[in-house]
Chain A
Amino acid sequence: MIGGVLAVNLAFVVAGYALLGRRRWHWSWAGLALLVGAGAVGTLVFFATIVGLHASLWVASLAAVVLVALGAFGPGNRLVLGQRPAARVGPLAGALFGLVTAVCLLGIVGGFRSSPWLDDAWGICLPKGLALWHHALDPQLFVQNGAFVTFGVPDYPLWWSVVSSLDVQAAGDVDVRVMCAQLALLTAGFVGATARLLWGYVRPSVLAAGLALLVLSPELWRHVQGGVADLPLALYLALGVLSGALWLKSRAPFHLVLAGFAFAVALQIKTEALPEVAALVLVGTLFARRLAWAGLALLAALPWLLWRWIEDVPSRAKLDFTRADRLPDAVRAVSEHLFDPTEWLVLVPAVIVLALLARRPKALLVPGALVAVVLVAYWIDRDEIGYVLATSAYRVIDPIVLSAAVLIPLLAESFLQQREPLREDRALVGEPRDDRRVVQQH
C-alpha cells in the first residue's frame, strides 16, 4: 500500500513540476507541485469519467503525460516571479521549522497507519471511486432509480473519489488507509507550499510561527485521519486565498493563475465550493478588480453541472429561506468549533486580532464570506438542524480555518512592519514595485 500511494503521488509531483514550469524546478516547490499535480490529474480523470472513460491508472497516466507535455511547452515557463531578498533564518525560526517538519512527518506516518473514522469516506467516497474505475460514470449507479442501489449524495463532484480510487488501484487491494495517507501527503504538501509561497514576503520567524500554529492544531490531523473531503476542499480554497493575497503584493500573473487553478480544483471536490469560490472572488474584487479574473475558475464547474442537468440530478439544497429559526443554532455551533482552542488552537482569534492590530480589517472579509456561505447552507438545508450540525459543523469550517491560517503570517508581518518602519530589513517584505523586476526565483 505504501509503495502504491507513494508512486501515485510521485506522478502527481512530476505533473505538478511540469505545470509550474522550469523556473520552479527546485526541491522547495515540491509541496506546491504535489498540490498542483494532484489537482490537475484528479480533475482531468474526473472529467474523463464524465465523457465515459474509466477512472483507471491508465487514464490517469495518460492525463499525467498530457499535463507534462502541456507543462513543457505551456505558459508555466513564462510565468515569472520577482526575486525576493534572501531571508536570514535565526535559531528560533530554525527550531520552529524543525517542529513543523517533524509534526508533518509524524502526520504522514499517522496517515498511512489510519483507517478513516468518517463512514462517509469509506462508505460513500471510496466506493464511488471504485465504481468509476470499474463502471465509469454509469448513471445506473450514480442517479437514483428503481432498479439499482445508488450512492448517497449524488450531487457531489468526484475528485476525492477519483484520487482515492487511483491510490487503491496502485496499492493493489482495497485498503481504506490510502485515504488518510493521501490526505496526510496533501496536508504536508500544503504546509510546504505555504512556506514556499510566503518565503520572502514575511520574515522567517513569523512564517515558522504561523505554520507551527497550524500544524499543532489537533483538529487538522484528526481530519487527516478521518478521510474527510472537507479537508482537501479547504487546502485548495486556502491555496487560492493565499495566491490571491500574494498577487495583491506581487501583481505577478503566476499568483493570479495559481489562485484560479486552486479554485478550479476546489470546485471538483464538494458542492459548497461553488458558492464559496464565488464569495471569495467577490471579496477579491473589493481589493482589486483584476482579481475577478480568478472567477474564470467557476467555468470549471460546468462539466459536472452539465452532467447533473442531463441526468436530472438535483441539488440536495433547497432554497427555503422561511426557516430563519435555524440560524441561531447554526451560528452557535459554528462559533463553538471555530473558537474552541482544543480544536484549532487560536487560529481564528489570531486572524481577527492581527487584522485589527495591523489595521487591515478588510482582510476579515475572506473568512467572513466563508462563514456566511456555511450559515446560509444550514439555513436552507432540509435536514433536522440539530442532527446536521452535530454531524457536519466540525468539518465544514475547515475552509474558514485554513483560509484564516494562511492570512496570519501576512497580517503579522504587516503589523510588525508598521511598528518598525525604519528597520533595515524592511526590504525583506518589500513593496509591490520590487516584485515587478522579472528575475527567476528559487
Chain B
Amino acid sequence: MSVAGAVERVEFAELGPSLRGLPAAAQPSGPLADRTRHPDRPTLSVLPALAPLLPGGMLRRGSTVMVTGSTALALALLAGPSQAGAWCAVVGVPTLGARAAVELGIRPERLALVPAPGASWSAAVAALFDGVDVVAVRPPGRVSGGEARRLMARARERGTTLVPLGPWEGADLRLAGSDPQWTGIADGVGRLHARRLQVRAEGRGSAARGRQTTIWLPAEGGGVAPADELTGPNLVAVPDSGVAS
C-alpha cells in the first residue's frame, strides 16, 4: 500500500493526470505513459457544464467514471469528447434513446452501439478499447471485482475512458444524478421542456472530497447548461402558453 501512496504523491507533484487514481493491484512497474496511445493528450474535453464535476475539468483517458441515476447524464458526459472528435461506444443498453444522444450533442457518425452483447460483453468492451476513446457499458449483471479490475487495467493501458452505467467496484470517479425537477409541464398543459438535475461527484485522489453542482439536463432548447445562477422562477412548473390542449 505504501507503494501506491508514493505513486499518488509523485503524481500530484507533477507527473500529470494520466497516472492518477490507479488502484494498487494493477499498478504497472514501468512508465505508464509510454504504453498509452495518447501520451501527448492525456485528457478529453467535456461539456462546460460538467467541467466543475471532474478533476481538472477534463475527462482523463484511461480512467473509469461510473455514472448512476441518469442515462442522459452519461450521454452528456460522452458529448464533450464526441464533439472534440473522439469515438464513443455504448455497450449493453438496448433501451438507449439514440435521438436523445444526438440531441445532447453526441456526433452520430462517431457513435457505435452494441445493444445486446450477451455473455461476451466484457470481450466486446475489451475489443472496443483498441480503437474507441470512450466506452460506456451497462453490464448484464453483477461484475466481480476481478473482472472490473481487469477491464480497468486494460482501459488504462489503452488510454480509453471506461464509463460503467451502474455499480462498479474501484471506479476513479462516481457521478450520481439526483433530484430531477422538470419545467414546462403542469396539469394537462405544456410539455417537458428542461430539467434541473443535481449531480454529485465522488472519487479518489483529488476528487476525494466530492463536488456537487446543479445542471440543466436537458437545458431549454437542448444541450446541457449550468443551473446554479438560474434558480428562481424557472423552477416552478410553468405552463407553455399556446400549446395547452
Verify that A and B bind, or say they do not: no
Interface residues of B (CB under 8 A from A): none
- Chain A residues within 8 Å of B, Cβ to Cβ: none
